[in-house]
Structure 1
Amino acid sequence: MTRRPVLLGAVGLLVIAVTALLTFFLEDLPFFGGGTEHTAEFTEAAGLRVDDEVRVAGLKVGTVTDVGLREGKVLVTFRVGGVELGDRSRAEIRIKTLLGQKYLALDSEGRDPLTDTIPVERTTSPYDVIEAFSGLSTTVSEIDADQLAESFRVLSETFRDSPEHVKQALEGLSALSKTISSRDEQLASLIKGANQISGALAERNKDFAALITDGNLLLAEIGHRRDAISKLLDGTRALSRQLSGLVADNNEQLRPALEQLERVTDVLRNNQDALDRGLALAGPYYRVLNNSLGNGQWVDTYLCGLVVDPGARRDCPTGGR
Structure 2
Amino acid sequence: MARRSGGPGTVGSGVRLGIFALVTTLALVLLTDALGGVRLSGGPGYTALFTDATGLLPGDEVRIAGVKVGEVDDIRLRQDAGAPPVAEVSFSLEDDRPLPSDVHATIRYRNLVGQRYVALTRSSADSTGATLSPGDTIGLERTSPALDLTLLLNGFKPLFAALSPEEVNELSYEIIQVLQGEGSTIEGILSHTASLTSTLAAHDDTIGAVIDNLNEVLATVASREDALDTSIVRLQDFISGLSADRDALGEAVVSMSELTGQTADLVAEARPPLAADVSALETLATTLNANAETLETTLARLPVTYTELTTTGSYGSWFNFFLCDMDGQVSVGGLSANPVGFHSPFARCQED
* TM-score, normalising length: structure 1: 0.39
Greater Rg, structure 1 or structure 2? 2
* TM-score, normalising length: structure 2: 0.36
Structure with more strand by fraction: 2
